[in-house]
Every structure is written in C-alpha cells, then in structure tokens.
Amino acid sequence: MDYKSLISKKLKGNTDIYLIGVFADKKLSHLNQSISNATLTLIKKCFDNNSFTGDIGDNRTFDDVENKFQIIVFGLGSKDKFGPINLNRSINLIIKKIKKTKTKSISLNIDNIISKDLSISPEFLVSSIENSLYKYSHKKEKTNISIKKCNFVSKIMIPSKILNQSILTGKAIANGIKLAKDLGNTPPNICTPTYLSNEAMKLKKINKLIKVTVLDEAKMKSLGMGSLLSVSQGSKEPAKLVSIEYMPLKNKDPIVLVGKGITFDTGGISLKPPGNMDEMKFDMSGAGSVIGTMRACAEMNVKTNVVGIIACAENMPGSQATRPGDVVTSMSGITIEILNTDAEGRLVLCDALTYAKKFKPRYMLDMATLTGAVLAGLGKYPSGLFSNNDKLAELIKKSADKTGDRVWQLPLYDDYFEELKTNFADIQNIGGRYGGAITAAAFLAKFTEGVNWAHLDIAGTAWEVGESKGSTGRPVSLLIDFILSNQ
C-alpha cells in the first residue's frame, strides 16, 4: 500500500473512506476542517444519543455528501488504556470491515493517535495497517486487496524524510511478521526442515550482506550435536541447522537469535494425545520468527550485526526414534538422559545455543514454543521470559511494552536446577511435576554460561485458535524493536 501525508483541508476528493478514531470520551476536537459541518452535526447527534460508545470494535458510518467521501467513526477504547495493543485491535477490526469492499483509497486521522504522550510512531501505524491486510494463501498467490492507498490526515504534514523512513521501517516490520506467519501456517507436509532452510536461503536475494550456512546431519554429527540429532532420528526428514549472518559492521559483537524449528511434533515415542495435534505444525514458530526478523533487518539495512540460527527437525515415532531412558551427548559435552521425547525442543536448542557461541554474541536470545506449562502459568497473552542477565531482561521488557508484544519474567532459582539431576547422565531433559516452563529454561541455561542470554517461551503466544486460528508472527515485532533499540 502507498502512504501519503495530507493536511485536513486537502482531504476533499482524495479518498473513498475517511477513518476517524474516537476515544470513549467521544471528543472530536481533532477533526478540524476535514469534514463538513452537516456531517459533524450528525456525528455529534449520534454521540449524544449514546448509540456510539467509543469502545474497541464499535463503529458508525456516515456519508459526507459535501466532501464526496464516506466517514467511518471507530472506537479506540479508553484513552488512559490506549497503547500499541489497543491500537492494533482497533485498526485490525476496522480494516477487516472495509477490506471486503472495493475501496481503493482510505484516509486515517492521526491527530489523536500519533503523539509523544501516546507513544505511537508512524512506523508502528504503518506496520499495524499492513498486518491487518494479512491473509494466508496456500497457493502462494498475491492476496487481492483493493485498498491501494492510505493518507495520514493531520493538522500538520509529516515531514517527507520522516514519513519515508517510517514507511520503509513499518513495511519491513510487517513483511517480517508476514513471513513468520506464512511459515507457521504452511502445512507440515510442505514446511519441513529442508523447506525452512530453503526459505532462509531466499533472504540472500534481499540484501547482499546476508550469508546463509546450512549444516546437514553429517556435518552436525561431526560437530558432536548428538542432542539435536536424537530428535530427528525417528523421521525420514533430515534435520538442518541454519545460520543467517547479517554483519554490516566490523569488529562488533552481534546480537544472536536462536529459534526452535520443530516442523511437526508428534511427541515421538512419548506420543501426544490426538486432540489438536494439527497445531503442532506451529512448533517451528521460534525459527519462523528468526527468519522473519532477519528479513526485516535485511530490508531496513540496520546498522548492527545480527545472526539468526534455526535448529530444524521433525519429531516422529519410528523404529529408529529415541527412547525414554536413552542417553545422548550434546555438542557442549554435557550428557543428557532423555526421560520424555516430547521435551524435544530443548534438545535441539541446547546444541544450537552451543553452536551460537562461535559468533561471540553480545546478547543471545532464543525463541521457542517450548512448554505447555507456560500456558498454564501465563495464559495466551504474554510470552514467558527467562534470563541470566537482569539488564538484558529489562531491555527486552522495554521493547515488549513499546510494541505490545508482551512478556512476563519468571525466576531461575537454583532449586529448579536441582530437579535436572539424574544418576545416569550429567542432566535429564525434564524436571518435576511443577514449574515445567522454568525447569525447561533451567535446562537451556546450562548451555549458556558466559553469555548474556534470554529465553522466550512462546508456546502460548505463537498462534491463535478458534475462528482466528493461525500464526500470530510473535515475537517478531519485539525482536526487531530490541535490535533497533540496541544498535
């Protein structure tokens, strides 16, 4: 979509639909000269009759005959609760309403949306609108959306330099989220470890600085990645470990992102129950978010070094599959007793985290749909955050608050590490009955000594269920903001 900045009095004849966001206080002082007096009177009557509440999802349509466009007034909710989450909800609902029509041009009044006190930037707004247009197509064809132009209407024009940069950044973020969603939504018979590695290779076409390296099973075996390979050995689909390097700066330690890429998780020999098992195609969402983030970095030409690593495997039962009770040796040399083959994400990640140390990371973040336990503890709203570094955790929280891609930090007390002890290896791959998300993070922490590391458990946030079933693309927006804020 093309974006343009317009001052209010020049809107006439330049749009099909004019979108006006209104808070629950129903104030209209931000409209200025952008609509006719007759239409303004109609809107005020509607408000006075209390038929419009200003709540998110509430909207009313008016015809401005004098200006020859349609007006849709839509709710932004309570002003004191306004922020990225409520804005995204409001924009998504109103775009969903109009994208079914043949509307070609829309305009959005931004005077009460983009401001310093509300902390909404133009690039965030662009990203929000672009994301609202997303629709998955398994045929890989372009989605036929009629809306081609969006005007940002305000009292003062947005300077062209700021607007152009905002459009570039906003679209890059949206493209990264879209790619993560597409990968998550792709059926598991198509989205295999090889498919993910091929999608990573495509990033080289976006930016010549991108370097992609794919390790096959023979190479991983030579490096001693016995833990990762234990997960794939029951499947005919070979595992892949992929590194995506974007290094525009010399002699600067990179931010390293590590993603779990289990393209389908049956649980292996510790077989999952059949209900909702189709959702296990989303178990590669950590890897998808890494690929999406790296795409956005490549598009934006960010001025920092970033490395993405994805550990890809399919977890299947079979005659060659790992058994509960097996002991494997990780790349780090730590031996692992596998008590539950459905706790496989940590097994691929631990070798990926060890491999990632070769890049001497400034910060290392891993993303994984790791545990159902994080859902039990936090529900589907925030991702679980764990870290061995308080400063890093605070930086991640700051980006989460800014983007609305929420996180909640959980502890890593020494007690949880005690639960990983076993008589038959250095550690076992599960803890006790309680605190499963924490003992899983404690397992990963064993492989991150000497590195500023954080872990995001996105098992509750990576996809939606029900009518809106599909990948959310989280935590791409958080990761991109973290990178941009820590260049």
Burial 182-211 (b: 16+ CB within 10 A, else e): bbbbbebeebbbbbbbebbeebeebbeebe
Distance CA 64, CA 253 (A): 57
Nearest to 342 by CA among 375, 369, 379, 381: 369
Strands (E), 207-322: 210-215, 240-246, 255-265, 306-315
Distance CA 356, CA 3 (A): 40
Active site residue 295: no
Structural contact between residues 91 and 3, judged by C-beta atoms closer than 8 angstroms: no
* DSSP state at residue 426: S
Determine the Cα angle at 43 with ends 113 and 120, to 5°: 5
* DSSP state at residue 446: T
What stretch of H or E contains 351?
Answer: helix 345-356
| Catalytic entry in 26, 149, 204, 272 | 272
Nearest to 388 by CA among 418, 421, 362, 411: 411
Determine the Cα angle at 315 with ends 191 and 345, to 5°: 95
C-alpha distances in Å from residue 105, one per residue of 18, 223, 273: 9, 55, 48
C-alpha dihedral (329, 334, 338, 342), degrees to nearest 10: -100
* DSSP state at residue 29: T
C-alpha dihedral (175, 290, 256, 452), degrees to nearest 10: 110
| Catalytic entry in 171, 178, 281, 346 | 346
Nearest to 269 by CA among 340, 220, 335, 373: 340
What stretch of H or E contains 64?
Answer: strand 59-64
Structural contact between residues 261 and 287, judged by C-beta atoms closer than 8 angstroms: yes
Active site residue 139: no
Nearest to 365 by CA among 325, 405, 321, 331: 405
User: Which of the residues are catalytic?
Assistant: 272, 346
